[in-house]
Amino acid sequence: MSGNVSVVVIASPAQLEQAWAIRRRVFIEEQHVPEEIELDEDDRLAFHALAFLDGVAVGTGRMVFQGDDKVKIGRMAVRSDLRGSGIGREILLFLMNEARARGFKKAVLHAQVTAEGFYLKCGYRPIGGVFDEAGIAHRKMGRDL
């Protein structure tokens, strides 16, 4: 991938709409997750990030604070034509660095089984077995920050 990737904290309703557009395309249209599951209550409380490639929004992720020392990272989505280009890794590192800067010690996530290898490469380890979430096989994973 050539071009300049940047990841930012979502700071405006317009940026949140860009993130939701990416999530709609990936989760609702591509993966057939019901909209009422995809856009959930945690969105109001979550910390959201948006990735840009040459100024165009191409990926997103969020984290929800759980207690004093743990965050749950989720809703990681990158445009299908750019998957495998390192954008997802940039989003994940951005969220982890932000959590670390805020004093959190652990991160957990529910990885789609098809993305488990990506998270393993980023230092996450499986916690328990495979389970169904929105009709898709997932596994809980975690790591220290």
The Cα–Cα gap between 11 and 3 comes to: 23
Q: How far is CA 107 from CA 34, 42, 81, 98, in A?
A: 26, 16, 28, 11
Kindly list the structural domains of the chain, giving each domain's residue range(s) and its CATH number in brackets, ordered by start.
5-144 (3.40.630.30)
Per-residue pLDDT reduced to its tens digit, 1-31: 567 899 999 999 999 999 999 999 999 999 9
- 97-140 pLDDT tens trace: 999 999 999 999 999 999 999 999 999 999 999 999 989 999 99
Residue 61 has a pLDDT of 98
Distance CA 61, CA 77 (A): 6
pTM across the whole model = 0.93
pLDDT at 1: 54
pLDDT band at residue 42 using 50, 70 and 90 as cut-offs? confident
